[in-house]
Structure 1
Amino acid sequence: MKVRACHKAEIKYTALFLFLALAVLIFVLHNIETLEVWYKVNSSSSLPKPTTNRHRRHEFCTFEPLSPEDAQEERLLLESTAWPETPLLPSPLSLEETSDPAHSTFIITLGKEGRQWQIGDQLEVTIKICDFQGRPKKTGGDVLLARLHNVGLGAGVAGKVVDHLNGIYTAVFSLLWEGSAQVEVTLVHPSEAVTVLQRLSVEQPDRIYFNSVFRSGHRSQTTACNVCLRPTQQPQCNYTDVRTGEPWFCYKPQNMSCNARITHSMGQFKQNLKAEEEKLFDSRVNMKVHIRASGPADITVLPKMEGQPNVESSLVKSGPAGYYYQGVWHALDGSTVHEFNTVTITQCLKGKVVYMFGDSTVRQFFEYLNTELPDLKEFDLHNERKAGPFISLDYKNNIFVKYRFHGPPIRIVPVPTSELRYIANELDGITGGSNTVVIFCIWAHFGTFPMEIYIRRLQNIRRAVVRLQDRAPDTLIIIRTGNPKELTPIVALTNSDWHSYQADKVLRAMFKGLNVNFVNAWEMTLAHHLPHDLHPKPPIIKNMINVIMSYMCPQKGG
């Protein structure tokens, strides 16, 4: 009897096992695409993977449904920009337990034979982060920038920082010039500040809000507007763009139509931080502060060894985008950057139509050309100097240059709503061709919003770029990236370098594989000895113009 009972039990558990195995197989087959995506994202590094679940819920931002392809791309991009999980902040927060640049150090890793460095070598630096009591941190997530430079030689290159998720980081530099090279490591934000920034993007995406004036006859009212608008008893006007689906909402004024809206402008900044959290954004203590070396901070680089392969060609795929030497930017992405002057810029632009779209950081290019080219004259459209749009003409050389700011969100002086144009829609209105150049930049006005908003804006722009290149393959497309900037508490809370770095990664991934060209403003600003600035200083802009002109006229220069 016992044998039969055991036999029946075996049959029972065997059937149960087969059922479970079949259920797992069905699940795997049904979700194989998702599992393949997970594997691709999570198998790229042997380091522990950051988690992102804590910050993926956005309380009152609503998003239009995406196509399956766009939704999958969004998921992958969010995973690729996932920041190492930063600690949940205790209440009240103790500053003593947060990352302190004054107690943190870096040391140059000696490596082989004592050690001598030659051009073409890689320099490694170990960074150890400690708290205000000098205790080593046990988690990662700090925002660090690193560069190698020689001010006397006008030389500099950005370093790549690797987070080991245990309070230790490695900065890697390519050695590209002969002579002295000094390491500089900067703590941009402690990991605890990133926790605050992540929370703000979820809870307060409207911490910068915008205004619109509504007018009907002699009556006018002003109401708040935004991408993400909090629901209240007041009705809302929906200004979602019909062609692109870009969302925009305003509170409806009383007894007035939504069609009465006439202007757009930036409102104010609403800060809602706990008192102890404000301590995490102090430029004198823990925000964009240099970390000291525990030994020598500089090395001497010797000439490369005879027979050594060309250094620059070996760095095209794995190294930095470029470096400065004698104040001149040298690209390492396979392109050649020529130096241009007033005469050769004019020769390069002759017969060309140049469209510039975006924020004030691309407007700098328009202003540079107007200042440097004597025959390029701006046509007075009686627009605000910080807004535009602007048009400049050189009749003698048949040059047309136009700048237009991108659509909302845009922090700007009051402008007519008729001037609010999305880049994608503007691109659809361009004929294109071999004499047409499109330069755009979009990043600085998205720092308060969830990354999904930025991703969807870029997806719309990319579709328009593809349509333009389909009908006019010879059209030159140039994209300017974001750049590090000077940080004050308000700037850090609305447009931090941490968010800009994430946006930079998304931008590059979004246009990867397309026939577009980049002005790597991130590295061109980081590698230069001048202080970081939202609007980089003239020597950096001049080098960016050299990059742009080299894309337009690869065989010229002067």
Structure 2
Amino acid sequence: MKARVCRETVVSFCCSKFAAIFLFLAVFVFIFVYFNMDVLEFQHKAISTFPAPKPHLQHRFCSFQPRSPEDALEERLLLDSIAWPETPSLPVPLSLEQTTDPAQSTFTILPEKGGRQWHVGDQLEVIIKMYDFQGRPKKSGGDVLLARLHNRALGAGVAGQVLDHLNGSYSAVFSLLWEGSAQVEVTLVHPSEAVTVLHRLTREQPDRIYFQSVFRSGSVSETTTCNVCLHQTQQPLCNYTDPHTGEPWFCYKPKNLGCDTRISNSVGEFKHKLKAKEEKLFQSGVNMKISIRASGSDSVTVLPKKKDQQEVKSNIVQFGPAGYYFQGVWQALGGMTVRQFNTPSAINQCLKGKFVHLRGDSTIRQWFEHLNAVLPDLKEFNLHSLRNLGPFMALDYANNILIKYRFHGPPVRSPNHVPAIELHYIANELDRLVGGTNTVVVFGIWAHFGSFPIELYIRRLQSIRRAVVQLLDRAPGTLVIIRTANPRVSTLFVSLTNSGWYSLQRDKVLRAMFKGLNVHLVDAWEMVLAHHLPHDLHPQPPIIKNMINVVLSYICPQKGS
């Protein structure tokens, strides 16, 4: 009897003890979930369905939770580093009278009245003064300006570095790198007032380009809207957030099909809501991509280098360019020698035994197309891929050369229906590589991110960088080459989705993100800006050939360089 009472007492005590523990754990889990909803928001499994956000979360329509405190700090520092000068608030309704007028703005070569000679190795400074349509000096900065020094007859050109003095005046500084005439060219890409609009559009309308996916099961097919961020509705969402990288992607769930029946992705329409007359800030021939005239001479004569003149190198000149063109050939600065691979045999000799992985957008696809065109022994496999999207693969069996290309993961602005299974994130692709001295990785990713918050681009690069670091840790001999963004033609549509300002911001982030790592840059920004050919999203063949020479020079550097 006493034994049974004892057992009952022990059981009662244990039950009460475990009940207290379970109660504590339940309270702890509730508190953890409540205070970490932002973190958990993107940590669902790869394909799931969940209801639309509650009304009080609508203001967080498109936010991105950093993966770690270190990532959050880096994001904050990057955002600070690319912070644009405060641009004027726009009157409603908008009037062009107080906005930047490139026709009345001028630049002047310093010093204004001779008194000095310029030699190779010197720096040339230009002062730029901006005026509005009423002819009044601008009092604030924020205009988007590009500068180039060139000599068309010599096939020479170099990009200038523009400094904003925040008072309506700017400086452009050029390295003088060749003898003879050198002509200054300054271009207004966007007035500061247009930057105000572009900044607001990204903040308020990050979904102005939307995407669509087809869902199919048997004879039943449905199409729904997809994006990085979707507006609140009563329609549940399919969550396609990548489980490895955490890259977010969502679609509205079809009414009659499951989330696992998604088969393709394509770009939908472009929708924007500009305020009254804001289109006037994006007028070709008026205030967008317009040359600014010189006040006085627009050129100087450059004499030979002085005997004691220090050689120009990008790492010792205050405003040093990455390189310059001379006789149409890109010359790198900073110690690298760009070799000229002018024959298929020279390219074959360099790539012999190499496995080249090309990853990224269509500006990287151009490089695959170039190599595939100039190498007669490189045979492309028919993978029955979409012509503009890939994946592509070409093999030179005799020389043991394999080149593969694959587009990056969403967002992908293609009107074609891309199989969803073909959309691979670059970081995941890199994590699957063995790497080694015969492996070359080349990637470029920027052109499809212009309409989205810069935080999304930062997240994407952070995941790619982690994969690059891990690849180089396990296979230090792997060669990693990164293509930067480049200037492009400007239209209203381009400006509102991927303007020169958007590209410039992302270019700065890319360079900062990979600085200090054992990777190499192909400076597409300067290589396009310094060339006489028009700016284009897809640079013309002479520029591509120079870019390929840079890539091959990294793979097969000149001995002793």
TM exceeding 0.5: yes
| Pick aligned residue for 2:448 from 445, 448, 472 | 445
| Pick aligned residue for 2:406 from 400, 404, 407 | 404
| 1:202 equivalent in alignment to 2:211 | no
**Residue 244 of structure 1 aligns with which residue?**
245
Go from structure 1 to structure 2 and tell me whether the alpha carbon gap of 1:199 and 1:395 turns closer, same or farther (over 3 Å shift).
same
Structure 1 residue 385: Cα displacement: 0.4
Q: Secondary structure at the match of 2:103?
A: strand
Structure 1 residue 283: Cα displacement: 1.1
2:206 maps to a residue whose letter is P
* Structure 1 vs Structure 2 CA RMSD: 1.5
- How many residues align structurally? 501
Q: Secondary structure at the match of 1:446?
A: coil
CA contact (8 A) 1:58 1:203 kept: no
User: Which moves more between the two structures, 224-233 or 143-152?
Assistant: 224-233
**Residue 228 of structure 1 aligns with which residue?**
229
Identity of aligned residues (%): 72
Which whole-Å deviations, capped at 9, do the CAs of 1:525-547 have from their partners, x for residues lacking one? 00000000000000000000000
Structure 1 residue 271: Cα displacement: 2.2
Structure 1 residue 379: Cα displacement: 0.2
**Residue 32 of structure 2 aligns with which residue?**
none
| Pick aligned residue for 1:476 from 462, 474, 479 | 479
Structure 1 residue 433: Cα displacement: 0.3
Structure-2 separation of matches of 1:299 and 1:315: 23
**Residue 103 of structure 2 aligns with which residue?**
102
Structure 1 residue 556: Cα displacement: 7.3
Structure-1 separation of matches of 2:484 and 2:310: 31
**Residue 153 of structure 1 aligns with which residue?**
154
CA contact (8 A) 1:317 1:333 kept: no
Which whole-Å deviations, capped at 9, do the CAs of 1:269-290 have from their partners, x for residues lacking one? 1121124100001111000000
Where do residues 55-134 of structure 1 align in structure 2 (5 Å cutoff)?
59-110=60-111, 114-134=115-135
1:477 maps to a residue whose letter is V
Structure-1 separation of matches of 2:448 and 2:170: 30
TM-score, structure 2 length as denominator? 0.88
| 1:486 equivalent in alignment to 2:489 | yes
2:544 maps to a residue whose letter is I
Structure-2 separation of matches of 1:245 and 1:221: 27
Structure-2 separation of matches of 1:186 and 1:313: 23
**Residue 53 of structure 2 aligns with which residue?**
none
Go from structure 1 to structure 2 and tell me whether the alpha carbon gap of 1:65 and 1:521 turns closer, same or farther (over 3 Å shift).
closer
1:370 maps to a residue whose letter is N
**Residue 419 of structure 2 aligns with which residue?**
416
Structure-1 separation of matches of 2:494 and 2:362: 16
CA contact (8 A) 2:92 2:276 kept: no
1:335 maps to a residue whose letter is M
Structure 1 residue 477: Cα displacement: 0.0
Go from structure 1 to structure 2 and tell me whether the alpha carbon gap of 1:58 and 1:106 turns closer, same or farther (over 3 Å shift).
farther
| Pick aligned residue for 2:516 from 513, 517, 522 | 513
**Residue 550 of structure 2 aligns with which residue?**
547
Structure-2 separation of matches of 1:536 and 1:387: 18
CA contact (8 A) 2:359 2:407 kept: yes
2:352 maps to a residue whose letter is K
Which whole-Å deviations, capped at 9, do the CAs of 1:261-309 have from their partners, x for residues lacking one? 1001111111211241000011110000000011100110000112322
Q: Secondary structure at the match of 2:437?
A: coil
Q: Mind listing any 5+ residue stretches in structure 2 that lack a counterpart? A: 1-57
**Residue 430 of structure 1 aligns with which residue?**
433
Structure-1 separation of matches of 2:255 and 2:140: 52
Structure 1 residue 66: Cα displacement: 2.5
Structure-2 separation of matches of 1:138 and 1:180: 34
| 1:254 equivalent in alignment to 2:255 | yes
1:253 maps to a residue whose letter is P
| Pick aligned residue for 2:458 from 446, 455, 458 | 455
**Residue 337 of structure 2 aligns with which residue?**
336
**Residue 190 of structure 1 aligns with which residue?**
191
| 1:306 equivalent in alignment to 2:307 | yes
**Residue 394 of structure 2 aligns with which residue?**
392
Go from structure 1 to structure 2 and tell me whether the alpha carbon gap of 1:409 and 1:178 turns closer, same or farther (over 3 Å shift).
same
CA contact (8 A) 2:484 2:521 kept: yes
Structure-2 separation of matches of 1:307 and 1:314: 19
Which whole-Å deviations, capped at 9, do the CAs of 1:147-192 have from their partners, x for residues lacking one? 0000000000000000000000000000000000000000000000
2:200 maps to a residue whose letter is R
Structure 1 residue 111: Cα displacement: 7.1
**Residue 27 of structure 1 aligns with which residue?**
none
Structure-1 separation of matches of 2:314 and 2:484: 23
Q: Which runs of 4+ in 1 moved over 6 A?
A: none
Q: Secondary structure at the match of 1:186?
A: strand
Q: Secondary structure at the match of 1:90?
A: coil
Where do residues 288-299 of structure 1 align in structure 2 (5 Å cutoff)?
288-299=289-300
| Pick aligned residue for 2:352 from 336, 339, 350 | 350
CA contact (8 A) 2:264 2:417 kept: yes
Q: Secondary structure at the match of 2:216?
A: strand
Q: Secondary structure at the match of 2:194?
A: helix
2:547 maps to a residue whose letter is M
Which whole-Å deviations, capped at 9, do the CAs of 1:346-374 have from their partners, x for residues lacking one? 10000100000000000000000000000
Go from structure 1 to structure 2 and tell me whether the alpha carbon gap of 1:317 and 1:434 turns closer, same or farther (over 3 Å shift).
farther
Structure 1 residue 93: Cα displacement: 0.9
**Residue 536 of structure 1 aligns with which residue?**
539
2:354 maps to a residue whose letter is K
Structure 1 residue 234: Cα displacement: 1.1
| 1:496 equivalent in alignment to 2:522 | no
Q: Secondary structure at the match of 1:311?
A: coil
Structure-1 separation of matches of 2:110 and 2:318: 24
Q: Secondary structure at the match of 2:370?
A: helix
Structure 1 residue 318: Cα displacement: 4.4
Structure-2 separation of matches of 1:484 and 1:428: 31
Structure-2 separation of matches of 1:306 and 1:62: 57
| 1:263 equivalent in alignment to 2:264 | yes
CA contact (8 A) 1:316 1:333 kept: no
CA contact (8 A) 1:84 1:140 kept: yes
CA contact (8 A) 1:266 1:410 kept: yes
Go from structure 1 to structure 2 and tell me whether the alpha carbon gap of 1:138 and 1:313 turns closer, same or farther (over 3 Å shift).
closer
Q: Secondary structure at the match of 1:99?
A: coil
Structure-1 separation of matches of 2:332 and 2:192: 32
Structure-2 separation of matches of 1:293 and 1:113: 15
Structure-1 separation of matches of 2:283 and 2:423: 36
TM-score, structure 1 length as denominator? 0.88
Structure-2 separation of matches of 1:321 and 1:502: 18
Go from structure 1 to structure 2 and tell me whether the alpha carbon gap of 1:527 and 1:424 turns closer, same or farther (over 3 Å shift).
same
Structure 1 residue 98: Cα displacement: 0.4
Q: Secondary structure at the match of 2:371?
A: helix
1:487 maps to a residue whose letter is S
CA contact (8 A) 2:173 2:319 kept: no
Structure-1 separation of matches of 2:59 and 2:403: 40
Q: Mind listing any 5+ residue stretches in structure 1 that lack a counterpart? A: 1-56
CA contact (8 A) 1:86 1:139 kept: yes
Structure-2 separation of matches of 1:293 and 1:316: 26
Structure 1 residue 62: Cα displacement: 3.0
1:196 maps to a residue whose letter is V
Go from structure 1 to structure 2 and tell me whether the alpha carbon gap of 1:314 and 1:469 turns closer, same or farther (over 3 Å shift).
closer
